[in-house]
Amino acid sequence: MTGKITLILADDHAMVRKGLTAFLATAQDIEVMAVAECGAEVVADAKKYAPDVVLLDLFMPDQPAVETVRQIKTVSPRSQIVMVTSHEGDEYVVPMTQAGAISYILKDTTPEDLVGTVRKAAAGESTLSPRIAKALVTVVTQARAAKVQNGQFHAELTDREMEVLQCIAEGLSNINISTRLNISEKTVKSHVSNILSKLYLNDRTQAAIYAWRQGIVKK
């Protein structure tokens, strides 16, 4: 990357805006292009400047942050969005990530770590505060356990993956699956890999057993 990292800062608290702006100004490789105090304003600034990074407070007064993230990615797809919050819950992490945010950090992050996060975001690398990451892992683990108990892993498979799984359960090889579904053998291999990953299985035999046990094989 050449030149400075361009950045927009958005927070509804004036003291936070001033403090962060002053600190970021000390980083020679970062240039603050604009400072916004609401969602609509940061979207307008993103459209105007198309910055490398947007530092966005999770709770803005005029609209939900997830909508602001979507709008920023619409007007400036190249901009990487870093969510900054004092809220340690995990419930916003997945929606924000799905909307387009690359990182999620707490406001008590050290100034040095904040600058590091900005630099990583500009390079396309994600950062997640350790406490939030720990909470998120717990949620994912609990969700996985529930799916194991209820046998619902296959609900995450696409229609094509379900077709491939049914073929595996019938004992078809990749080349035979390729012929039946009229897709390349390379594509079949990709589907098989995705199936094993989503079902948390090690091999085709386990996948076949799973399919029969769950009653998802076409008779």
User: pLDDT of 33-47, one tens digit each?
Assistant: 999 999 999 999 999
Share of the chain above pLDDT 70, in %: 82
1 band by pLDDT with thresholds 50, 70 and 90: very low
Structure confidence at residue 181 (pLDDT): 93
97 band by pLDDT with thresholds 50, 70 and 90: confident
Structure confidence at residue 119 (pLDDT): 93
pLDDT at residue 129 is higher than 80: no
Quote the Cα angle for 160-164-166, to 5°: 115
Domain boundaries, the chain: 5-131, 139-213
> To which CATH superfamily is domain 5-131 assigned?
Response regulator (3.40.50.2300)
Model pTM greater than 0.75?
no
Chain-wide mean pLDDT for the chain?
Answer: 83
200 φψ region: left (φ > 0), alpha (ψ -120 to 50), beta (else): left
Q: How far is CA 14 from CA 17, 27, 105, 111, in A?
A: 5, 21, 19, 18
Q: State the residue for tokens 């609401």.
A: 38
Q: Which residues fall within 8 angstroms of residue 26, CB to CB, at 6 or more apart?
A: none
Structure confidence at residue 46 (pLDDT): 95
Structure confidence at residue 8 (pLDDT): 95
Provide mean pLDDT across the span 95-102. 79
Structure confidence at residue 137 (pLDDT): 55
Q: Tell me, which fold does domain 139-213 have in CATH?
A: Arc Repressor Mutant, subunit A (1.10.10)
The lowest-confidence range among 9-13, 128-132, 183-187, 211-215 is: 128-132
CB 211 within 8 A of CB 195: no
Element (H, E) at 81: strand 80-85
Element (H, E) at 219: none
Structure confidence at residue 30 (pLDDT): 92
Provide mean pLDDT across the span 2-27. 88
Task: Please write the tens of the pLDDT for every residue from 194-208.
Answer: 888 888 787 888 888
3 φψ region: left (φ > 0), alpha (ψ -120 to 50), beta (else): left
Task: Please write the tens of the pLDDT for every residue from 131-178.
Answer: 655 655 555 555 555 555 555 566 778 889 989 998 988 888 899 999
